Copies of this chain bind each other. A is one copy, B any other.
Amino acid sequence: MTAEAPAGRSDARLARLSLNQRTCAEWSLREAIDGCVRAGLPSIGLWREPVAEVGLATARRWVRDAGLRVSSVCRGGFLTGPEGAERRAAIDSNRAAIEETATLDAATLVLVPGGLPDGDRDLDAARARFLDGVAELVPVAQEHGVLLAIEPMHPIFAADRGVISTLAQALDLAEQFPAETVGVVVDTFHLWWEPGVEQQIARAAGRIASYQISDWITPLPPDALLSRGMMGDGHIDFARFTEWVNRAGYAGDIEVEIFNADLWATPGEEVVATIARRYLDLVQPHADR
């Protein structure tokens, strides 16, 4: 890879840093790829919608030609609905997402669990249906050599987006399947508060499919979906968290995923520069040891 490495890729300390493209939501896929290359980031997290806009083959070629890795594809999941046409459509969409992930040579497909169906208050049942959905997708993922990454989400999203709320709970599910097919996402924003998370990260050894970072900031921005902050702007101890993930043997990409209205109003170039700086300051010294 170093032989064809673009000129910008000069700092070996960025060798694990990935930009989730929704962090720079105003950028097109082309712009995000170019932005990563210019900033010396070797990896990118892709979303299905912007990939579909340019077409899968084109996206694949662009990423390859730029010499980037695809750290993750966002997103499958949303598997909490009851049996019926909608659930079948969700399963089909996940099958397609698995195929796309394989085509993009991505390491992993992130599964966002999904929330409670409209008017449904049975959280246990929704959680059970998510598990059933994962079980149904496992053979498809195995066929395509794709790693499904269950993303436990901050309880702020338990009702409307992600019924799996802790790393412990995500591991209880993932451990029912082979480690090469079902893993977990360890995301600082979602998990930093979890009692015993250090022990759960150790337990996750061999199951960490993705390590994603962003900060928990206060006061919490008004839109919960856009409430993530830049590393260093909030309350998360990235040194300790990264050491725990490191100690669990995870040596893959470290993906920055920040949804934040202020950040989206900032030029992507500037955002990526800040990310690289904060990464080198707060994360990298604890990741590469």
Nearest B-chain residue to A159, judged by Cβ: B235
A220–B121 Cα gap in the complex (Å)? 16
- Which one, B158, B159, B234, B237, contacts A123 given CB within 8 A? B237
Q: A234-B159, A235-B116 are in contact. Are A194 and B165 (CB under 8 A)?
A: yes
A156 touches which of B116, B192, B220 (Cβ 8 Å): B220
Cβ of A160 under 8 Å from chain B: yes
Give the residues in chain B near A158, CB-CB below 8 Å: 192-193, 216
A84 at the interface (CB under 8 A from B): no
Kindly list chain B residues whose C-beta atoms are within 8 Å of the C-beta of A216. Answer: 158-159
Let me know if B237 and A121 touch, CB within 8 A: yes
Interface size on A, residues (CB 8 A): 30
Cβ proximity bits A233-259 to B, threshold 8 Å, 1 near / 0 not: 011110000000000000000000000
Contact status B159-A121, CB under 8 Å: no
Contact check: which of B155, B168, B223 meets A193 at CB < 8 Å? B155
Question: Which B residues lie within 8 Å of A121 (CB)?
Answer: 235-237
Chain B residue at smallest Cβ distance from A198: B124
Closest B residue to A152 using CB positions? B195
CB distance from A75 to the nearest CB of B (A): 19
> Can you give 8 A-B contacts (C-beta < 8 A)?
A121-B235, A154-B155, A155-B193, A155-B194, A159-B193, A159-B234, A160-B219, A165-B194
